Structure formats: C-alpha cells, structure tokens
C-alpha cells in the first residue's frame, strides 16, 4: 500500500466498520480483562483489533495474540492522542531535524539514516502506561484498556547517541525534546512532545524505521519513531519530526500532566485524597499476560491444556513465571523460552495441566524478575487516579466441559 494514501483508505474502512458494528456480530469480541463485548475494526495494514475510538485511532491487541514473543505488525496495538494525524508522508522527502543546543543543526533523510550511520537492532516491549487500566478498582480515569495495549517487536534503526554525536552537543545541553508530526486539533491541546534527560540516554535508545523486518506500519509511527527499551511507551514518540536539545526542562502538557504517578514510595493515593506531587511513570514493572486459553474458552475435561503467555519487565530479566490453579494458594513453575531475544523482550512461558473437574476454572500467572520483584495479588494493588502501571497477577477463567 502507498502510505501517502493512508487516510483516504482508513476513513472508508473505519466508516464501514462503524456502520457494520451496530448490526454484525462478526465485529464483536470480548475485552481481555473485564470480558464485556467490544467492537473490532480493521484499519489499513491491520487485522481486526479492539476499537475504543477511530479518531484518533485507539486499537487494542486481542489476548490470543500473546502466545509468541514477537507481536505481528498487523496485530500491534495503536494509540494516538490527537485526532489529526498526518494524512500524507513522503519517504523521499521526509527529514528529521536536530536543533537547539548543538554545534551543527542537522536535517537527515531516511536514506541517510539507513546508510550513513551504524544500523542496530533491539527487541523490546512497547507498553502503554495505561495498559490493563480496566483492572483497577475503583475505576481509574482514561481509556479502559484490557491487557493488550502492548506488544513486542524487533526494532531496527540508528542509535540516538550517534545522531547527537554527529550534531555535537553543546556544553550546557541537558534535555532532549522529541516532537511528533501530528498537529493538535484545537488550540488548547498541545502537540505531542516528550522530553528525555541526557542521563536517561544509553546505547539501547534508537530511532527506528523498521519493525519486525518491515517499514513501521503507518499507525505505529511511520516513517520513524523513538524506542526506549524498558520504559513505558508514552515517551516512544512516533512519526518523529524533530529533536530539540535544550538546557531547561520545558513544562510540556504530556510531561507535566499525563503519564504520571504519585511521587511517594507506594506510588499510590485514594480517590478521596490525591497525592500532592507526581512523577513520570518511566520504567516498566514486572508483568505477565496469559495468551491461551482466553476468558470463556471451553476446554476438555481430562485432556491436556497448554497454558501459554508472555512475561517481561524493564530489562532486569524474568526469573520465573508461576501458575496457580487454586486461586493463588499454590504455585507451580511454568517453562520459559531460552530468552535469546534479549532482556527487553517478552519471555514466552508454557504450562501443561489436565483439568479433572467440570465447570469454571481460573488460571493465574505471576512473573518474578531477577531482582525478586513479582506481580501483586489484586488486593495488594496500589491505586493511582491515572490508572497507570497496573501489574496485578493475570487471570483467565475458562469452562471445563
């Protein structure tokens, strides 16, 4: 598909789906956590995904996709903040600008990125800080995502540090601002901009133009996006247009208001008493999601079921995934894959058992990382009003027939 024509096509598809979804059962599925009925839609380059909005596109990956370490591009979730994303990108004329406190301002074309700098790859989990928000009680504000506002891909591109070295940072450089190409629709809504402190920069931070061996899908930030392995994806700016180096933190909307948690030890608060200070969410906590079976699945009594799923953290690495079939009283180790995709990737797990009774059965999964952090029981979950960083023990309830 010609990406330049993306939006003409997208509008037609979304329109058709909106009409279809009110009548056709085929466009319905179940939300992965609360199991309510939700509609699906297939945008260009995407298979049907759970739709929370079509403008801006907010699309969630269904649970059953999380049985493999890499999430296919056409099933990768989508999150945009602004309704007006560019309708047209020409890869031949696209450039990324680097300006601000640099010795030499740069405008780099896609072709130069691919030929003039060392090409590197990293496999890393991209997860929205609001992933699994619908599991919070009481309800936390925001899109009621199930557990599919995430995915894992092999990203290819160039190191941000190589680009900055090429431009040459001035002495007092401290903050790097990243700007997406989309425009705010209304005067009140600020552009999508994130800032990164120079201390957060390491060799794993890349500008990626490729995802799982293909160009980035349009909706995942074509032609270029920022990848910061181990951190939540609000800072993984898509459709990057420019990088600006400054010496002062600019109080930007998305940095100062959204994607923040209480700045206290438990990162928690109550709806009645909000924490006075907040901090950015940054590093991901340890988590697992079961991909098979899914809620409501019918499985056969006395025949083997292979529970499968994915586990990850911020790069410390997964030590174990434990499975419980008795509501969390006892736990048994699942088998992990060899981990060859690296410490920022999903580890897949599998666990085989034979159900011996009929009726409802709940399967729970709990990941433990290499520094001993583990997923909490729901009753230990710390609440925050933005509904960020949920990492409770995952569970699915199936029916043994």
Ligand X SMILES: Nc1nc2c(c(=O)[nH]1)N[C@H]1C(S)=C(S)[C@@H](COP(=O)(O)O)O[C@H]1N2
Find residue 210's DSSP bridge partners.
156, 215
Binding mask 189-228 for ligand X (x = CB under 6 A): ---x---------------------------xx-------
Q: Nearest to residue 315, comparing CAs of 334, 339, 332? A: 339
Give φ, ψ of 155 to 5 degrees. -100, 135
Span near ligand X by CB under 6 A; candidates 43-51, 78-86, 132-140, 165-173: 78-86
Candidate list 180, 291, 386, 387; residue touching ligand X; CB under 6 A: 180
Whether a cis peptide bond, with omega within 30° of 0, leads into 105 is no
Output 45 or 234, the one with its CB closest to Mo ion.
234
Is position 226 an interface residue for Mo ion (rule: CB under 5 A)?
A: no
Binding mask 117-146 for ligand X (x = CB under 6 A): ---------x-x------------------
Is position 224 an interface residue for Mo ion (rule: CB under 5 A)?
A: no
How far apart, in whole angstroms, are the C-alpha atoms of residue 19 and residue 11?
Answer: 12
How many residues bind to ligand X according to rule CB under 6 A? 19
How many other CB atoms sit within 10 Å of the CB of residue 23?
8
Output 243 or 398, the one with its CB closest to ligand X.
243
Is position 228 an interface residue for Mo ion (rule: CB under 5 A)?
A: no
Question: CB of residue 384 vs ligand X: minimum separation in angstroms?
Answer: 16
Candidate list 234, 313, 314, 374; residue touching ligand X; CB under 6 A: 234
User: Any residues with CB less than 8 A from the CB of 146 and at least 6 apart, and which?
Assistant: 31, 32, 33, 34, 50, 60, 63, 132, 134
Candidate list 45, 60, 210, 234; residue touching Mo ion; CB under 5 A: 234
Q: Count Cα atoms within 13 angstroms, Cβ side, for 65.
A: 23
From the number of C-beta atoms within 10 Å of its C-beta (0-12, 13-18, 19+), residue 324 rates as middle
Span near ligand X by CB under 6 A; candidates 3-11, 75-83, 96-104, 363-371: 75-83
Relative to beta strand 359-369, strand 394-400 is: antiparallel
Q: Count Cα atoms within 13 angstroms, Cβ side, for 369.
A: 21
Span near Mo ion by CB under 5 A; candidates 43-51, 91-99, 127-135, 297-305: 127-135
How far apart, in whole angstroms, are the C-alpha atoms of residue 327 and residue 182?
Answer: 46
Is position 275 an interface residue for ligand X (rule: CB under 6 A)?
A: no
Q: By CB under 6 A, name the binding residues for ligand X.
A: 76-81, 126, 128, 180, 182, 192, 220-221, 233-234, 236-239
Q: By CB under 5 A, name the binding residues for Mo ion.
A: 79, 128, 234
């Amino acid at each position: 598909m010609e990406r330049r024509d993306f939006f003409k096509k997208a509008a037609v598809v979304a329109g058709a789906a909106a009409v279809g979804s009110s009548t056709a059962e085929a466009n319905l599925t179940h939300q992965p956590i609360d199991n309510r009925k939700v509609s699906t839609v297939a945008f260009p380059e995407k298979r049907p995904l759970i739709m929370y909005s079509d403008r801006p596109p907010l699309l969630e990956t269904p649970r059953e996709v999380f049985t493999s370490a890499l999430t296919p591009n056409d099933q990768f979730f989508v999150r945009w903040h602004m309704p007006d994303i560019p309708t047209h990108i020409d890869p031949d004329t696209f450039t990324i600008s680097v300006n601000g406190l640099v010795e030499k301002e740069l405008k780099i074309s896609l072709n130069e990125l691919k030929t003039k700098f060392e090409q590197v790859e990293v496999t890393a989990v991209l997860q929205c800080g609001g992933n699994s928000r619908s599991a919070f009680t009481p309800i936390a504000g925001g899109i009621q995502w199930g557990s599919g506002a995430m995915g894992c891909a092999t990203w290819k591109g160039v190191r941000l540090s190589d680009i900055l070295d090429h431009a040459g940072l001035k002495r007092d450089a401290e903050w790097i601002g990243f700007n997406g190409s989309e425009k705010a629709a209304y005067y009140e809504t600020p552009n999508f901009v994130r800032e990164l402190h120079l201390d957060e920069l390491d060799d794993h931070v890349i500008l990626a133009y490729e995802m799982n061996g293909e160009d980035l899908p349009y909706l995942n930030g074509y032609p270029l996006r920022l990848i910061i392995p181990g951190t939540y994806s609000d800072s993984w700016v898509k459709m990057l247009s420019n990088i600006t180096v400054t010496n002062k933190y600019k109080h930007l909307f998305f940095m100062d208001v959204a994607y923040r948690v209480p700045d206290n030890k438990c990162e928690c608060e109550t709806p009645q008493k909000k924490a006075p200070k907040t901090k950015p969410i940054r590093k991901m906590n340890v988590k697992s999601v079961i991909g098979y079976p899914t809620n409501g699945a019918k499985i056969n009594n006395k025949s083997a079921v292979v529970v499968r799923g994915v586990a990850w953290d911020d790069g410390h690495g997964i030590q174990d995934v434990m499975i419980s079939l008795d509501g969390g009283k006892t736990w048994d180790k699942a088998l992990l894959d060899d981990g060859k995709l690296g410490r920022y990737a999903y580890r897949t797990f599998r666990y085989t058992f034979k159900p011996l009774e009929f009726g409802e059965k709940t399967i729970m999964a709990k990941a433990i990382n290499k520094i001993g952090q583990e997923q909490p029981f729901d009753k230990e979950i710390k609440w925050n009003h933005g509904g960020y960083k949920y990492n409770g023990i995952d569970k699915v309830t199936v029916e043994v027939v």
